[in-house]
Homo-oligomer: A and B are copies of this chain.
Amino acid sequence: MSTNTLYEHGTLAMLMAGDMEGSITVADLLKHGDTGIGTLHGLNGEVIIVDGEVYQADETGTVNHITDSTTTLPFASVHYMESDKAIDFETCSFDVLTHKLVDLENLQNVFASVKLHGTFSHVKVRVAPKQFPPYPSLLEVTENQPVFETDNVTGTIIGYFSPELFGGLTAAGWHLHFLSDDRQFGGHILDFAGTNIKGELQIFENFEQHFPIANQAFRDHTVDLDTLKDDVAQSEGNND
């Protein structure tokens, strides 16, 4: 496997259909990357993986360092950090990433990642609350989810750009998670703003989709293609 690969375990369509059982261990996931995002078994919080260390922002607003490598995830994306290009922003926001970076770097048809670091004037995140069987859909969960906001926070954004063509199996456009340097604040980014933000852009040659083929709920779930992309966009809640 080329190291220039974005590895995705599970699909957003599966979460949308309420298949939230953890189906890959942290140990197995980390064989495919040292950087990434995801969620734990039962849609338990927002995971961010930095330098091979796994952190979970939970629904109480606490950030936990996940050191048990048998912990499982239903859905995650990871890659090996290998910067293609330094990207520095005088001012940065979802709008800048979506309407400037995508055009400037011609990302529309490729998967890409950003890792950004700096002091952000504002960060707003949501955290998925842990669910129990029988699982609801991701959309139902995200209609009632804890939202946290903070100002003047120093930290890291890690996330992915996915082409529209792949929307539904993953989130089209940008999907970003945040972790503060002091490991006190994190989650799935709904909105952010910052100045003098520095980072790295990586464009992937390969997108490797891994399926939990032995998981019965995965094999049996039904995808409603008519509503999927709208539901994913709504559940991801990006302000762009």
Contacts and interface: CB of A to CB of B under 8 A. Distances in A.
Interface of A: 1, 5, 11, 13-14, 106, 108-111, 163-169, 203-211, 213, 218-223, 225, 228
Contacts of A206: 208-211
B110 A211 contact: yes
Contacts of A203: 213
Nearest to A212: B205
Contacts of A211: 109-111, 204-207
Residue of A5, A166, A209 contacting most chain B CB atoms (<10 Å):
A209
Interface centre among A109, A166, A203, A228 (most CB of B within 10 A): A109
A71 B138 CA distance: 46
Contacts of A14: 109
A109 B218 contact: yes
Contact of A208 (B110, B208, B220): B208
